[in-house]
Amino acid sequence: MSVENQLKTLPEKPGCYMYFNKDNKVIYVGKAKNLKKRVSSYFTKAHDVKTTKLVRDIVKLETIITLNEKESLLLEQNLIKKYKPRYNIVLNDDKNYPYIAITNEKDPEYIYVRNYNAKNKKSFGPFPDGSSARKILRTIERIYPLRRCKGNLGHPCTYYYIQQCSGACFKEVEQTYYENQIKKIENFFLGVSDDVQNILESKMLQAAKNLQFEEAQRIKEIIEHLKFTTEKQDVDLNDNINRDIFNYYEFENYICFTVLFYRSGKLSLKNNEVIKNEGQDINDLFKSYILQIYTKNLVPDFIGIPIEINVEDLKLYLEKNIINENDLNTNRLLNLAKENAKEFLFQKLHYANNNNITKEDILKQLQVLLKLDSFPYHIEMYDVANMLDEYVTGAMVVFKNGIVSKNDFRKYNIEINEKGDYHRIKEMIYRRYSKDADFPEKWADLLIMDGGIIQVHAAKEALKSLNINIPIMGLVKNDNHKTESILDLEERKIEIDKKSDLFKLLENFQLRVHNYAISGFRKRQQKGILKEDYISKVKGLGDIKIKKLYENFKSISSMQTLSVDQLNEVIKNKKIAEILFEHLKNYKR
């Protein structure tokens, strides 16, 4: 059905809509109180150049009816997270901040987390990266101890002896103890108590008196890390309220969204996000940015939003005090947030000399360089990790519009008789695309092979066997395993300026896939160390000895080359070493 005919059948109900391009890929997701009115407005009204570009790319649409506006708001965010549409604002999957939390247990403990979790009893943060949140955690663990061991050990743990555990290891701890400790911790983060600083300063002075200068310096550094909770700031609001202040700034085709996080009336950190505006509604983009922030962060007491933004639907979702009134305090903070957005955007523009300030701009450079027919929105990059041909692990990392898409990452356990990267890459690509051979909308726009010409040939062969045509490029490395140049679609070497944004983006892709492959390999190797089906059958050879064997000899293949005496150097039992020696003779990969 054509888009024109679809418009006639749209319901006048709340819900979400998805726009698809000619490759059957979702390029935009939106929500509406009235689907018929909202969607029709894209195709029946006059638009500026930017919106016209978006509409021109739409060849199909789908709608999902919801029971109410709140449900459509939640669904919209889930769809954006799933599809990462090109014309929506999509925050990086890595955009999360540290929190110090207290678990919701009978005997609670402190934990350091990167994602806010409402199931915890208390959470403090978010903390800025580089704020040494872990050091702060270790400090309050010592000064206001909760449970620090596993609990129920039947005897006091080491931490209890040094007064850093509640004693849940061997006794019943009164709940009033935990309540009092948590109250003190709250007061510390609220900045209404100087106990922590006083205790640390006392310890620092005592260490100095005892001529323990290194210890005194260490404590001094901890005090410095804690200053953000105790020092007054120019923007201090003289209250103990947690509030987030959102604003944005537009210049030419770019928008910068900014949020200032205030904790206990003090500015703790800010987040900036720059996108290229290609016809999206600023109201929708801004609210989507706000909601994506809160999928990973604690919702504060108050949220400040510019008065021109309609916040009624946000109130349905956040159920908190959203302030966009023109009162003096809020207005001052909103102006500050706007100034931050303006400054950040102009810095980016100046740094990039009016070019390449977004990942999309950089990908357009790559499109031109490779002479790709379509924009490389969906990119997949592949690599393989192994040691001595064991635990061979393939990795695929995915980027959509230059942004990491962790939900699409895949690891492959490659267990084939053929050795070498050529066969392993061919196996991995075949497995990836054999199940999606009949669904072009699930194909990538570009494949990047991390291992040069051999891997490129392997990938091409795998796709050819499936009658699939996807552009493939490769990265060429030097003797130090650093990327030196790229292989274009015709397998020609092209040099790229190593200071350019494009080179840095490709280098980031490469680091991602390498680390992902290595992490998968290490997990498999560790499992093999602790629970290897073959050598664990040797009677008397426990997990500790197996682990030591792998630490020393890395693989079964290496162990097969050893003598009984060499094996016994690790096992320390001649009889078991002899049994293992005979057992290894029968091992076949």
| Eight-state DSSP code of residue 190 | H
At 532 the pLDDT is: 46
How far, in Å, CA of 399 to CA of 446, rounded? 10
Q: How confident is the model at residue 2, as a pLDDT? A: 77
Residue with tokens 């604002």: 89
- Give the pLDDT band (50/70/90) at residue 570: confident
Read off the pLDDT of residues 526-546 as tens digits, 9 standing for 90 and up: 665 544 457 777 888 877 788
N-terminal to C-terminal alpha carbon distance within the chain: 55
Which pLDDT score, from 0 to 100, does residue 396 have?
A: 92
Tell me the C-alpha distance between 425 and 451, whole Å. 10
For the chain, which domains are there? Answer: 3-83 (3.40.1440.10), 99-230 (no CATH), 243-351 (3.30.420.10), 362-516 (3.30.420.340), 531-585 (1.10.150.20)
Report, as an integer, the average pLDDT of 403-431.
89
Strand blocks (E) in 442-557: 446-449, 472-477, 483-487, 493-494
User: What whole-number distance in Å separates Cα of residue 216 and Cα of residue 203?
Assistant: 8
Percent of the chain having pLDDT more than 90? 29
Check residues 555 and 362 and name the one with the higher pLDDT.
Answer: 362
Cα(17)–Cα(545) distance, integer angstroms? 59
Please write down the HEC assignment for all residues of 533-563: CCHHHCCCCCHHHHHHHHHHHCCHHHHCCCC
Distances from the Cα of 160 to the Cα of 43, 152, 573, angstroms: 69, 13, 38
Q: Please give the single-letter amino acid code of residue 576.
A: I
- Which residues pair with residue 246 across a beta bridge? 259
CA-to-CA distance for 21 and 380, rounded, in angstroms?
20
Which pLDDT does position 339 carry in this prediction? 92
β-pair partners for 256:
249, 274
354: pLDDT strictly greater than 60: no
CA 99/CA 116 separation, integer angstroms? 7
For the segment 398-403, the average pLDDT, to the nearest whole number, is 89
Q: Containing H/E element for 70?
A: helix 69-83
Which is nearest to 305 in space by CA: 253, 258, 236? 258
* Residues 122-145, mean pLDDT to the nearest whole number: 82
- Structure confidence at residue 226 (pLDDT): 65
Nearest to 473 by CA among 434, 446, 437: 446
Confidence of residue 208 (pLDDT cuts 50, 70, 90): confident
Sign of the dihedral defined by the CA atoms of residues 572, 574, 575, 581, in that order: positive
Highest mean pLDDT among 178-187, 355-364, 385-394: 178-187
Residue with tokens 């992902």: 516
Residue with token string 């196996």:
427
How much is the pLDDT for 277?
77
Amino acid present at 377: Y
* Cβ pair 288, 80 in contact under 8 A: yes
Q: Which two tokens stand for residue 539?
A: 């009677």
Round the average pLDDT of the chain to a whole number and report it.
Answer: 84
CB 193 within 8 A of CB 187: yes
* 148, 141 contact by CB (below 8 A): yes
pLDDT tens readout for residues 284-332: 889 889 988 888 888 888 899 998 888 888 887 787 677 766 677 788 8
Angle 519-525-530 (CA atoms, 0-180°, nearest 5)? Answer: 125
pLDDT at 466: 94
CA distance 576 to 528: 20
The torsion angle over the Cα atoms of residues 488, 494, 500 and 506, rounded to 10 degrees, is: 40
Reduced to 3 states, what is the DSSP secondary structure of residue 451?
coil
Tell me which of 20-24, 121-125, 216-220 is least confident. 216-220
Mean pLDDT calculated for residue range 45-74: 82
- SS3 percent helix, strand, coil of the chain, rounded to 5, is 45, 20, 35
% the chain with pLDDT above 70: 89
pLDDT over threshold 90, residue 93:
no
In tens, the pLDDT along 367-382 reads 999 999 989 999 999 9
User: How confident is the model over 492-516, as pLDDT tens digits?
Assistant: 999 888 888 888 888 888 888 888 8
**Least-confidence region, from 140-154, 345-359, 558-572:** 345-359
Longest dimension (CA), the chain: 87
Selected residue with higher pLDDT from 92 and 80? 80
Q: Which residue has the tokens 């560790």?
A: 526
Tokens representing 536? 């664990």
Alpha carbon 50 to chain centroid distance?
30
Q: pTM to 2 decimals?
A: 0.67
Q: Rank 204-208, 416-420, 486-490, 550-554 by mean pLDDT and report only the highest.
A: 486-490
∠ CA 53-88-437, nearest 5°, is: 85
Whether residue 443 is predicted with pLDDT greater than 90 in this model: the reply is: yes
Highest average pLDDT, of 13-22, 216-225, 556-565, comes from 13-22
Q: What is the pLDDT of residue 179?
A: 95
CA 113 to CA 48: how far, in whole Å?
44
Which three-class secondary structure string do you get for 397-448? EEEECCEECHHHCEEEECCCCCCCHHHHHHHHHHHHHHCCCCCHHHCCCEEE
Of the pLDDT bands very low, low, confident and very high (cuts 50, 70, 90), residue 104 is very high
Residues in contact with 40: Cβ distance below 8 Å, sequence separation at least 6, in sequence order: 7, 10
Q: What is the predicted pLDDT for the residue at 160?
A: 92
User: Which residues, other chains included, contact 406 with Cβ-Cβ below 8 Å and sequence gap of 6+?
Assistant: 93
pLDDT, tens digit, 9 for 90 and up, residues 223-263: 776 664 444 444 456 677 888 999 999 987 889 999 999 88
Among 454, 494, 449, 501, smallest CA distance to 471 is for 449
Least confidently predicted of 29-43, 55-69, 70-84, 200-214: 200-214
Evaluate whether 230 touches 194 at the Cβ level (below 8 Å).
yes
Beta-ladder partners of 74: none
Helix (H) or strand (E) holding 248: strand 243-251
